[in-house]
């Protein structure tokens, strides 16, 4: 069986076209020979995966032609979804990155369009997608780095309840402002609608939808162009005037949402409250404006979500870093501002607690305390090692005196070193151990002596002795000699030394009168006649006391020292020598 290729003959109105082509072809050949030529790299690169149909590709190119982002619709086995890939281009060779799914699965999405910033690092895509009931316009934005695109969440641009088609999008040269157009049924006709939005990273905040074409007749096939700064837009579309289809156009000054100031700088110091940033003034938002910040602020700084004010007391050092404050209207509008925050090391001070009041004790200890405003631990050292030493916060006593403790805090990555602070602590002298003075013997007679000594006490102080005024004694060194009857008091003092206070004690010695030596009566004659006399005298005894005589028995009488016989018989006589300041009285035996 022979196979033949079939073909259709040109229709009559096509013959004229073929004739013109045959006439113009030689001229075209000469023209093409002298014009620019394109060298296309072969074979082509497959962007979409094989195995399922992919249609409706669109591509956007950076202004220098080195970056590209493409979008298309592809069947996933159940529905068509919107996909995208980005590429870097060098020498006519495009290196494409991984494919990303932009639209959700579950319903068909078609008609994608994409716009790219002039440097190729920001992309915004629009498409139409069935939501289960109607077709709505959706959008997503991305940041592009090399061949990797990070797409943000999908936003619904058109309202539900009616079908919308044919989305188109324009992007400012920096990729931060977008305006989209589409046509949508209003229940009777299709009208042209538009929305504008601001783009930050992979997130776009779209404003309210505006109707561009009039109602009453259908309009379709819109296109939009945007100025490089995104503030001016012009749209064109087709619309029936009731008889024919005409082209219409509209231009707009696009007022995007904004917050002021657009930039702020915070220079903080660890441990000190920053000067709060200026509250933002929002413009062009719908509903209540709230604020959020990315990335997270430095520790202990916070953002007021109602005013956008950043305040607080930083706790860590940070080099200058940029933070993006995003303002979002509850119904429409989004804008960002950049806040640059740097935090340097904080200054800290040291404060000692109440100085302790220790008393000397050998190797005694006490504690010191100090705090740093950084809450970092304080290190202690002794500036008077001869008086005290320190380990940790425990001070060990060496001697009494002024103990000077220094407090230091070396700082860390967040805090500068603290100026050294000192605390003077007076270690007072201690009382001596029990100190007792005594005389040995403790009772003496007049003319006798007692050795004064002391026991106990503390330290190295010398002993000194002093006789209390009025004592009937004399004192030479530590020897007490009695010169009269009474009580003799000697104060013994152990002198103070570096560590101990002086101590004193009284030694009390009782002084008695001395007994006289044996007193004997000596008569001038041992025999006298009646009425005869004898003279009495004494031997022995002591002191200056007067001597008196008394007849103890017998026929005699005595007057002064004269004994007279008054009758015959034996007489007994005694002598008594009175006491004086040194001796007791003494009485002789009778003779």
Query: SS3 string of 477-489?
Result: CCEEEECCCEEEE
Contact between 180 and 167 under an 8 Å Cβ cutoff? The reply is: yes
For residues 429 and 298, what is the distance between their CA atoms, to the nearest angstrom? 54
Close Cβ partners of 109 (under 8 Å, ≥ 6 residues apart): 73, 79, 80, 81, 82, 102, 103, 127, 128, 129, 130, 138
- Cis amide prior to 261 (ω within 30 degrees): yes
**Separation between Cα atoms, residue 285 and residue 262, nearest integer Å:** 16
Pairing type for strands 80-90 and 54-61 reads: unpaired
Dihedral Cα 237, 240, 245, 247, nearest 10 deg? -30
Question: What's the token pair of residue 18?
Answer: 């073929």
Structure tokens at 273: 């409250």
DSSP β-bridge partners for residue 155: 139
Instruction: Tell me whether strands 263-269 and 334-344 are parallel, antiparallel or unpaired.
Output: parallel
Tokens in use for 161?
């309840």
Residue 447 has φ and ψ, to the nearest 5°, of 95, -15
- Please give the pLDDT value at position 488: 96
> Smallest Cα–Cα separation from 128: which of 167, 89, 175, 74?
167
The DSSP H or E segment spanning 467 is: strand 463-467
Maximum Cα interatomic distance, the chain, rounded to a whole number of Å: 217
Strands 190-200 and 210-211: antiparallel
How many whole angstroms separate alpha carbon 490 and alpha carbon 309?
85
Provide the 8-state DSSP code for 583: B
List the one residue out of 66, 119, 121, 71 whose CA is nearest residue 88: 66
Phi, then psi, of 418 in degrees rounded to 5: -85, 145
Among residues 55, 69, 158, the alpha carbon closest in space to that of 108 is found at 55
Q: What are phi and psi of 65, to 5 degrees?
A: 75, 10
Cα 160 from Cα 176, distance rounded (Å): 26
- Strand 334-344 versus strand 301-303 pairing type: unpaired
Q: Classify residue 453 by burial, with Cβ atoms within 10 Å: 0-12, 13-18, 19+.
A: middle
Tokens of 251: 């231009």
Q: Which of the 8 DSSP states describes residue 256?
A: -
Is there a contact between 217 and 242 (Cβ–Cβ < 8 Å)?
Answer: yes
Q: DSSP string covering 519-542, please?
A: PEEEES-S---TT-EEEEEEE---
Q: In this structure, what are the phi and psi dihedrals at residue 28, rounded to the nearest 5 degrees? A: -65, -40
Q: Minimal CA–CA distance to 375: which of 399, 350, 402, 340?
A: 350
Burial class (CB in 10 A: 0-12, 13-18, 19+), 548: middle
Cβ-based neighbour number of residue 311 at 10 Å: 16
CA-CA distance, 572 to 323, in Å (whole number)?
136
Instruction: Note if the bond before 581 is cis, omega within 30 degrees.
Output: no
Look at strands 388-391 and 394-397 and give their pairing. Answer: antiparallel
pLDDT for residue 508:
97
pTM across the whole model: 0.57
Could you tell me the two tokens for 465? 């002795």
> Which two tokens mark 322?
């940029």
Q: How far apart are the first and last CA of the chain?
A: 199
Average pLDDT per 10 consecutive residues for the chain, totaling 591 residues: 32 36 40 61 84 95 96 94 95 91 94 96 96 94 95 92 95 93 94 89 79 93 94 94 92 85 95 96 89 95 97 96 92 86 97 97 96 97 98 97 98 97 98 97 95 96 95 95 94 97 97 93 92 93 92 94 92 93 91 88
């Amino acid at each position: 069986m022979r196979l033949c290729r079939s073909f259709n003959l040109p229709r009559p109105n096509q013959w004229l076209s073929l004739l013109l082509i045959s006439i113009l072809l030689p001229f075209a050949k000469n023209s093409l020979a002298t014009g620019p030529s394109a060298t296309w790299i072969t074979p082509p690169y497959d962007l979409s995966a094989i195995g399922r149909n992919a249609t409706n590709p669109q591509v956007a190119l950076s202004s220098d032609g080195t970056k590209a982002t493409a979008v298309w619709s592809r069947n996933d086995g159940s529905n068509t979804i919107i996909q995208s890939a980005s590429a870097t281009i060098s020498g006519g060779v495009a290196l494409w990155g991984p494919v990303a799914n932009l639209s959700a699965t579950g319903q068909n999405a078609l008609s994608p369009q994409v716009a790219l910033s002039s440097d190729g690092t920001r992309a915004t895509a629009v498409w139409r997608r069935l939501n289960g009931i109607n077709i709505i316009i959706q959008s997503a934005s991305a940041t592009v780095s090399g061949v990797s695109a990070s797409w943000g969440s999908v936003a619904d641009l058109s309202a539900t309840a009616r079908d919308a088609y044919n989305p188109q999008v324009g992007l400012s040269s920096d990729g931060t402002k977008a305006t989209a157009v589409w046509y949508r049924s209003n229940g009777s006709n299709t009208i042209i609608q538009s929305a504008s939005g601001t783009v930050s990273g992979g997130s776009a905040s779209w404003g309210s939808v505006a109707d561009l074409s009039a109602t009453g007749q259908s309009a379709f096939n819109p296109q939009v162009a945007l100025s490089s700064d995104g503030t001016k837009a012009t749209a064109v579309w087709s619309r029936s005037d009731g008889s024919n289809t005409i082209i219409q156009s509209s231009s707009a000054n696009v007022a995007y949402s904004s917050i002021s100031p657009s930039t702020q700088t915070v220079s903080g110091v660890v441990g000190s409250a920053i000067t709060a940033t200026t509250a933002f003034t929002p413009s062009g938002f719908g509903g209540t404006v709230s604020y959020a910040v990315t990335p997270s602020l430095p520790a202990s700084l916070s953002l007021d979500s109602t005013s956008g004010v950043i305040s607080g007391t930083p706790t860590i050092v940070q080099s200058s870093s940029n933070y993006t404050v995003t303002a979002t209207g509850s119904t429409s509008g989004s804008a960002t501002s950049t806040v640059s925050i740097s935090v340097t090391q904080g200054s800290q001070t040291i404060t000692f607690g109440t100085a302790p009041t220790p008393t000397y004790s050998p190797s005694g200890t006490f504690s010191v305390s100090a705090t740093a405003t950084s809450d970092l631990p304080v290190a202690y050292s002794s500036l008077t090692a001869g008086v005290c030493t320190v380990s940790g916060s425990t001070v060990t006593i060496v001697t009494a005196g002024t103990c000077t403790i220094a407090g230091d805090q070396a700082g860390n990555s967040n805090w500068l070193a603290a100026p050294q602070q000192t605390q003077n602590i007076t270690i007072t002298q201690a009382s001596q151990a029990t100190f007792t003075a005594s005389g040995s013997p403790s009772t003496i007679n007049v003319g006798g002596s007692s050795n004064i000594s002391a026991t106990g006490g503390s330290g190295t102080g010398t002993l000194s002795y002093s006789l209390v005024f009025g004592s009937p004694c004399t004192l030479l060194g530590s020897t007490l000699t009695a010169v009269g009857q009474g009580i003799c008091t000697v104060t013994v003092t152990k002198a103070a030394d570096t560590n101990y206070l002086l101590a004193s004690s009284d030694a009390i010695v009782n002084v008695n009168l001395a007994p006289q030596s044996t007193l004997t009566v000596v008569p001038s004659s041992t025999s006298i006649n009646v009425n005869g006399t004898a003279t009495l005298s004494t031997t022995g005894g002591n002191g200056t006391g007067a001597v008196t005589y008394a007849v103890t028995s017998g026929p005699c009488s005595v007057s002064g020292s004269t004994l007279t016989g008054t009758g015959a018989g034996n007489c007994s006589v005694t002598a008594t020598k009175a006491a004086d300041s040194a001796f007791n009285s003494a009485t002789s035996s009778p003779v």
